[in-house]
Structure 1
Amino acid sequence: MLELTDITAGYDGTPPVVRGANLTLRPGEAVGLLGPSGCGKSTLAKVAALLHRPDRGTLTLDGTPVTGYRHRAPRALRTAVGIVFQQPRLSADPRLRLRDLIAEPLRATGRRAGAAATVGELAERVGLGADLLERRPHEVSDGQLQRACLARALVLRPRWLVCDEMTAMLDASTTAALVGVVEAYRAETGAGLLAVGHDPVLLARWCDRTTRWSEIAED
C-alpha cells in the first residue's frame, strides 16, 4: 500500500502548495489524480516518489512510514518507486547518451552486472532503436527522450510507478505507445500506478479510478 496521510508541503519557507492531502494506492491499482495546473499535483507526486520531504504528514510505503527522502531514504524504499516527469529535458542529464541515462539508477545502486542487456531490453520495449541509444538528449525528439525517461523509471523494476503528466508534451501516437508500455509492465509485475494529469478522458481510460484534487486536499 502507498498511503499519503495529511500531507502539507511547500518550498523554502513559502506558503505550502499542498495542504492536508490524503491519498491511498493499493498494490496493482491504477489511480488517476486529476487537477488543474498549479494546484500542487506535481509536488505531491514528488512526495510519493520520496523526492520531496513534506512539511507535515506521513508517507507510508508497503507498511513502512518513510522518514528519509531523496538520498536519505533507505535504498529498499527509494528503489520501490519509479517516477516519470512531465518535461523530459528538465529531468535528463544533457551530457549522457540515452543508453547511460536509462542505466543511471543501476549505476547509482551498484547493479552493474547485466546492465547492458537490461538497458537493451527496456529500450526495445519503449520503442528506442539501438542507434538512438548512442545519442544525447539534444539529438532526439521530446517523445524519444520521454521514452528513455520511462525506461529509466522501470529499470529497477519498481513496485510503484508515478507518472506526473507523463504524456502532456507528446502526440497521440506516442501517448498511446507509452501508456501501453506502462500497462504491460503493470500486468507483468502487479505494480501500482499513480497517474497525475489534467486530461479526464485519458485518466478515465487509463486508470481503475480517478480522484479530483479537490477531493483529497484542502483549497
Structure 2
Amino acid sequence: MLELRSVTAGYDRRAPAVRDATLTVAPGEAVGLLGPSGCGKSTLARVAALLHRPDSGTLLLDGHPVRHWRHRAPREQRTTFGVIFQQPRLSADPRLRLADLIAEPLRATGRRAEAADRVAELAADVGLTPDLLARRPHEVSDGQLQRACLARALVLRPSRLVCDEMTAMLDASTTAALVGVVEEYRARTGAALLAVGHDRVLLTRWCDRVVDWETVVGPDTARKQPVG
C-alpha cells in the first residue's frame, strides 16, 4: 500500500505547490490522478516516488513511514518504484546510448551481469530494434526515447509504477503502445500504478479509478489551481 497523508510539498516553503494532499494506491491498483497543467500533481508524484522530500505530512509504504528520500532512501524502497516522466529528453543522459540508458539502474545496483539479457528482453517489449539501441538520445525521436525510458523504469522489476504525464508528448499510436506495455507488465507482475495526467478519457480507460486533483489536496491548493 502506498499512502500519502496530509502532504505539503514544493520548491519554495513560502509558496508550496501542494498543500495537505492525501492519496492512496493499493497493491495492484491503477489510480489516475487528474488535474490541469501546473496544478502541482507532478510534485506530488515525485514525493510518492521518493524523489522529492515533502515539507510536511507522511508517506507510508506498506504501513511503514518513509523517513528518507532520493539517494538517502534505502535501496529496497527506492527500487520498488519505476518512474516515467513527461519529457524524456530531460530525464535521459544525452551521452548514453539507449542500451546503456536502459541498463543504468542495473549497473547502479551492482547487477551489471544481467544487463545484456535484460536490455534485449525489454527492448523487444517496448518496440526498440537493435539498431536503435546503439543510438544516443539526439539520434532518435521523442517516442523512441520514451520507449527507452519506459524500459529503464521496468528494468529492476518494480512493484509500483509512477507515470507522470508519460504520453503527453506522444502521438496516439505511440501512446497506445506504451500504455499497452505498462498494462502487460502489470498483468504479469501485479504492480500498482499511479498515472498522472490531464486527459480524463485516457485515465478512465487506463485506470481502475480516477481521482480529481481538487479532491486530493486541501482547499488552499484547490483554490489556486490554474485553468487549462
Once the two structures are aligned, what percentage of the paired residues are identical?
77
CA distance in 2, matches of 1:71, 1:163: 20
SS at match of 2:119: helix
Give, in angstroms, the shift of residue 63 of structure 1: 2.2
CA distance in 2, matches of 1:30, 1:114: 29
Q: Which residue in 2 is equivalent to 1:90?
A: 90
Q: Which residue in 1 is equivalent to 2:147?
A: 147
Q: Which residue in 2 is equivalent to 1:132?
A: 132
CA distance in 2, matches of 1:96, 1:66: 32
Give, in angstroms, the shift of residue 174 of structure 1: 0.2
CA distance in 1, matches of 2:111, 2:183: 25
CA distance in 1, matches of 2:64, 2:125: 32
SS at match of 2:112: coil
CA distance in 2, matches of 1:56, 1:34: 23
Paired AA for residue 108 in structure 2: A
Give, in angstroms, the shift of residue 12 of structure 1: 4.2
Superposed CA deviations along residues 8-62 of structure 1, whole A, max 9, x for unmatched, are: 0011444100000000000110000000011101000100110000000111112
Q: Which residue in 1 is equivalent to 2:199?
A: 199
Structure-to-structure mapping, 1:100-119, within 5 angstroms: 100-119=100-119
SS at match of 1:114: helix
| Structure 2 unmatched ranges of 5 or more | 223-228
Return structure 1 stretches of 4+ with deviation > 4 angstroms.
none
TM-score by length of 2: 0.95
Paired AA for residue 167 in structure 1: T
Paired AA for residue 156 in structure 2: L
Superposed CA deviations along residues 94-127 of structure 1, whole A, max 9, x for unmatched, are: 0000000001110111111221000110011000
Paired AA for residue 59 in structure 1: L
Structure-to-structure mapping, 1:1-219, within 5 angstroms: 1-218=1-218, 219=222
| Structure 1 unmatched ranges of 5 or more | none
Paired AA for residue 121 in structure 2: E
CA distance in 2, matches of 1:98, 1:201: 31
CA distance in 2, matches of 1:79, 1:89: 22
Aligned length: 219
SS at match of 1:96: coil
Larger mean CA deviation between 60-69 and 93-102 belongs to 60-69
Paired AA for residue 123 in structure 2: A
Superposed CA deviations along residues 55-91 of structure 1, whole A, max 9, x for unmatched, are: 0011111222111100000000000011000000000
Contact kept? 2:32, 2:196, Cα under 8 Å? yes
Superposed CA deviations along residues 150-200 of structure 1, whole A, max 9, x for unmatched, are: 000000000100000000000000000000000000000000000000000
